[in-house]
Each structure stands twice: as structure tokens, then as C-alpha cells.
Amino acid sequence: MTPELEGKVALVTGGTSGIGRETAVVFAKAGAKVVVAGRREPEGQETVELIRAAGGEGLFVKTDVSKAPEVEALIHKTIETFGRLDVAFNNAGIEGVWVPITRQSEEDFDRTMNVNLKGVWLSLKYEIRQMTKQGKGGAIVNMASIMGLVGSGAAAAYTASKHGVIGLTKAAALETARGGIRINAVCPGVIETGMADRVFGAPRVHDFVLSRHPVGRFGKPSEVAEAVLWMCSDRSSFMTGQCLILDGGFLAGPNPPT
């Protein structure tokens, strides 16, 4: 069987750790040349080494996705190196500061929105331009969250940013469908990453959040990565403007209030 992304060029933002790193490696194993973007160069180079160890070809480009010139330069470097862009996973994001609205600073709010929402918007803007120029379609997946589908106390900025990503995904999908560019979002529950450890690491918080996942565990980065690969492959060719939920049953039924 031919690998799903054989001969294609893929971009992963926020590819320095966690879900982004895992997806970059999965893309490489599926035959893609992978560009890894992020703010932390040593970690980004580690991801590239993992790609090479998996038999793939990779490139790291230091990028702050909240800054238009850096995102534009990222796409330019991708084309300069590999000649095209076929697949993108707009994964870069931060948890921000989880406090009640009345205690949240304007600086914290702006930073969360700039990375999580504006960063996706900028990535889409330049990715779509390039894919449209190529004229052969493409596939893009945005990182949302189950917090983009429900509310959560003490996480207003993060929740708002992820709701925004879902709305942006739907709007962009409608704009690009005729051109053969498919745009979807993935909405994970809690996944075992450094971000989850920072937010849910306290024992009482960990146990409470775990109790809201009926399967009895948190997700693994590899489980999200495999889903993103499917969304970027021809196997999901009739899917666009959708949000794929991977939450261990979190949203399936009644849960304790947050």
C-alpha cells in the first residue's frame, strides 16, 4: 500500500513537543517531507532528528505564529526548500492563564488570543494562498479543543480562542471548498502532554478532570496524530468544515459542572 502522504509536503506548527511533534513524525512515516515550526529551536531540531530517525526528511523553521512576517517567511522557506505545500496542521497554541474573568489581565487575554486564534488565522491566510497558487488543492487541520464546544470556568480566554478556531475553520472551509482545499479541526479532550500537566497537574484537579473522561484515562498524542493524518489523507476526501472530537466520551453525556 502506498503511504498516505507519499510525495507530499506537510507543515506542522507547534511541532516542538506533544501532539505537534508526534504528528510531524507520523506525517514523515506516511511519506511526507515535513516542515516543523515553533518558537523553541532546540526542541524543534529534536523533532527533525526524530523525523530523520523515522526515515523521513524534515526542516525546522523558528516561527512565532502570532506575527504575520514570520508566518509569511515560514511559507516562503517551505516553498524554497521543498517546492510546494500540500498539507498543514495548525497546532501551535498555549493554555494561557486559567483564572476567573475578573482576575484575568488584558495582557494574558491578548497573548492567548494572538497565539491560539490569530496564529491559526495567519497560518490559514498564507497556506491557502500557496495552495491556491499551486492549483491542486490541499488539506489543512486546525487544533481546536472540546473547550471550543462547551464552556469552562476559569478558562475564558482559552475557551474563547478555541470557539474562534472552530468558527474560523468553518468559514475558511466554505471559502476554499471549490478550490479543492479541505479545512477541518480536531477537538481533543485532555491529552497526556506538558500543557496538560501544567493545567491539570495538581492531584485534586487531575482526579476531577479524569472523572469526566468515561474511558477512565486521558488521550495520547499518538491518538490525535493518527486522526490528523486521516483528516489530511485522501481517505477523508469528502470531509471539510468539520470538527473531529477525540475526548474519551467527555461530551457524550452528563458531567459534573465545572
Question: Would you please indicate which residues are annotated as catalytic (active-site) residues?
Answer: 158
Q: Are 56 and 29 in contact (CB under 8 A)?
A: yes
Separation between Cα atoms, residue 103 and residue 195, nearest integer Å: 21
Q: Are 183 and 240 in contact (CB under 8 A)?
A: yes
Dihedral Cα 146, 148, 150, 155, nearest 10 deg: 100
Separation between Cα atoms, residue 190 and residue 167, nearest integer Å: 21
Radius of gyration of the chain (CA): 17
Find cell 518558537 and name the residue. Answer: 39
176: CB partners within 8 A, 6+ apart: 128, 131, 132, 182, 183
